[in-house]
Amino acid sequence: MNFDVAIVGSGLAGLTVALQLADTHKVVILSKRSMTAGASDWAQGGIAAVLDSGDSHAEHTQDTLVAGAGLCDEEATRYIVEHGRDAIQWLIDRGVPFTRDAQAELGFHLTREGGHSHRRIIHAADATGHAVVSTLTKQARKHPNITILEDQFAIDLITSAKLGLPGNRCYGLYVLDAATDEVHTITATQTVLAAGGAGKVYLYTTNPDTATGDGIAMAWRAGCRVANMEFIQFHPTCLYHPYAKSFLISEAVRGEGGLLKLPDGTRFMPAHDDRAELAPRDVVARAIDFEMKKRGLDCVYLDITHQPESFLKEHFPTIHARCLELGIDITKQPIPVVPAAHYTCGGVVTDTAGRTDIGNLYAVGETGCTGLHGANRLASNSLLECMVIGQAAAADIAAHGKAGAPDIALPAWDESRVSDADEEVVVSHNWDELRRMMWNYVGIVRTDKRLERAQHRIGLLREEIAEYYANFRVTRDLLELRNLVEVASMIVESAYSRHESRGLHFSRDYPDTLPKALPSVLQPLSGRAGRASRR
């Protein structure tokens, strides 16, 4: 189990790093479930990039900065935007089947989404993520230098501090094999965290079950800074149906003319923002939340019935088919929708090469925080960041050459002082309580009183979970809960420290925006990793 590069996560960011390095490096991809179970595969809308001569890097950058509410890192934003076309070309060259348009300049159909001043979203119908991930996964499986290990849950990083060695670097990680319940030690010259976001910390989310903040929590315990965790993007339009779990109605539906309406058919977005349905997601989500609470509604409706049936079936085949399965014909009926937790704009602090505070440790994709998203992610910038930072991280790793495995023996996982769990109900109960509490107290609209209640309860939950972790053998459910409570604590701490409303963070106690935008950077306490782990 010795590799040049160990990648935690099998989404677009992780696959990009793996395929960029595989010709020269021995790479392992660790997927906690199947290779296509992550959020990248679920992405519907597309990838934002400047692909038309009528558009410009300056305009894409400006749209991103406006959406980010003054908190974007301008240098990082420019870097990612300027490398967008090359990243898209890399996917085209690898055979990703983007939707074509013979009349378009590049030969591919471009759509427009909320917050964008141009049509610049390249897509594969309404299942872009699946088209990209399935294409790259097939290529990764065929590559002789890439080892794919599915159903492997990364537990914790092995660092200098954990080993009592001088310096500040990562040597690999411990991994739980979900099939055998055995814990393995993986040694790696370079480790890349590409484990996605933390949407499952909330009761209602568009994210898959894998989005439990594993990479962010692991990096935090190891001693990395984490930034901007209060900025959780709530997607305005998640399908509202008792038999639909986490099904997203793409931003592109509004981009193609979809209108948000009350049950009586009245539009409400023009009363909230001049950009109406094309306002940024935070504005639309708060507007829906406001109308639902004001009128006691279970949902609102997204109406695109004015578009021809042929247009809807061509552009939104997945959405059309799924809604039809549930008895909703989007060609004739409006779609019931509610907001749901969608994207973690903050994460592990990195530079534009994905480098973290710990040597030989990188964080890419939703796990990392380059500063691109600021206080609110602009639609379809996420997959762009996955590729651009993934490629930059791979280039940085390649530039260091193959240093070889560290010349030390990493300790095996010690289970001599633990036993099998006697009450699994403790884990399931705490999981449910945490997610409901975060939804009720740390949702779209916040107050100090709610945050204080959340902070108090999270403290008690952390103590219970830490005691459970110290005494019983690890399971996937326990590890996910341990990571979620860590991430929940970061979200609450960051939200409580921000005495203003900005972007995705709206506080009734501080409704105004301060003149100067500053990131919320959490600094781990010295020795925290040792206290947080029994090993």
Token representation of residue 503: 């972007």
Identify whether residues 129 and 160 lie together within a single domain: yes
Question: Is residue 50 assigned to a domain?
Answer: yes
Residue 330 DSSP code: T
Of 399, 419, 445, which one is at a domain's C-terminal end? 399
Same domain, 255 and 202: no
Q: What DSSP character marks residue 245? A: -
217 shares a domain with 252: no
- Inside any domain, residue 524: no
Which of 324, 342, 360 is the endpoint of a domain?
342
Residues written for the chain: 535
Q: Report how far residue 115's alpha carbon sits from residue 263's, in angstroms, rounded to the nearest whole number.
A: 26
Residues 306 and 366 in one domain: no
Half-sphere exposure of 382 (CA within 13 A, CB side): 29
Pick the closest to residue 302 from 359, 343, 263, 344 (CA basis).
263
Same domain, 359 and 332: no
One-letter amino acid of 393:
A
Question: What pLDDT score does 404 carry?
Answer: 56
For position 454, what pLDDT does the model report?
Answer: 97
Tell me, yes or no, whether 220 lies in a domain: yes
Query: What are the start-end ranges of the E strands in 213-291?
Result: 226-227, 232-239, 259-261
Same domain, 347 and 320: no
Indicate if 331 and 347 belong to the same structural domain.
no
The active-site residue, picked from 169, 281, 446, 502, is 281
How much is the pLDDT for 45?
A: 83
Residue 187 · residue 171 · CB < 8 Å: yes
Give the burial class of 58: count Cβ atoms within 10 A of its Cβ; 0-12 exposed, 13-18 middle, 19 or more buried.
exposed
For residue 287 the two structure tokens come to: 């507007």
Residue 386 is part of which domain span? 2-230+343-399
Task: Please name which of 395, 461, 387, 392 lies closest in space to residue 431, comparing C-alpha atoms.
Answer: 461
- The CA-based angle 314-319-323, given to 5 degrees, is 125
Q: Where are the alpha helices (DSSP H) in 380-511?
A: 381-399, 425-441, 448-471, 476-497
Report the number of distinct structural domains present in the chain.
Answer: 2
CA atoms of 191 and 160, how far apart (whole Å)? 14
Q: Is residue 438 part of a domain?
A: no
Closest CA to 369 of 351, 347, 393: 347
Task: Identify whether 82 is part of a domain.
Answer: yes
CA–CA separation, 209 vs 191, rounded Å?
Answer: 23
Known catalytic residue: 281?
Answer: yes
Tell me the whole-structure pTM to 2 decimals. 0.90
Residue 441 inside a domain? The answer is no
CATH number of the domain encompassing residue 151: 3.50.50.60
Residue 471: partners with Cβ closer than 8 Å, 6 or more residues away: 418, 419
Per-residue model confidence as pLDDT tens for the chain (535 residues): 899 999 999 999 999 999 999 999 999 999 999 998 899 988 888 999 999 999 999 999 999 999 999 999 999 999 999 999 999 999 999 999 999 999 999 999 999 988 899 999 999 998 999 999 999 999 999 999 999 999 999 999 999 999 999 989 999 999 999 999 999 999 999 999 999 999 999 988 989 999 999 999 999 999 999 999 999 999 899 999 988 878 889 888 999 999 999 999 999 999 999 999 999 887 898 899 889 888 989 899 999 999 999 999 999 999 999 999 999 999 999 999 999 999 999 999 999 999 999 999 999 999 999 999 999 999 899 999 999 999 999 999 999 877 655 667 889 998 888 888 777 788 999 999 999 899 889 999 899 999 999 999 999 999 999 999 999 999 999 999 999 999 999 999 999 999 999 999 999 999 999 999 999 999 997 544 332 332 2
Please answer whether residues 439 and 204 qualify as being in contact, where contact means their C-beta atoms are separated by less than 8 angstroms.
Answer: yes
Do residue 315 and residue 330 come from a single domain?
yes
Q: Where residue 332 sits, what CATH number does that domain have?
A: 3.90.700.10
217 & 107 share domain: yes
Domain limit, last residue, from 310, 326, 342: 342
pLDDT of residue 535: 26
Q: Can you state the percent helix, strand and coil of the chain, rounding each to 5?
A: 40, 20, 40
243 & 330 share domain? yes
Classified as helix, coil or strand, 156 is strand
User: Do 157 and 267 have their domain in common?
Assistant: no
213 & 319 share domain: no
AA letter at 341: A
Tell me, what's the pLDDT at 405? 55
Any domain includes 426: no
Does the residue 328 lie in any domain? Answer: yes
**CA pair distance 14, 371, nearest whole angstrom:** 19
pLDDT value of position 403: 60
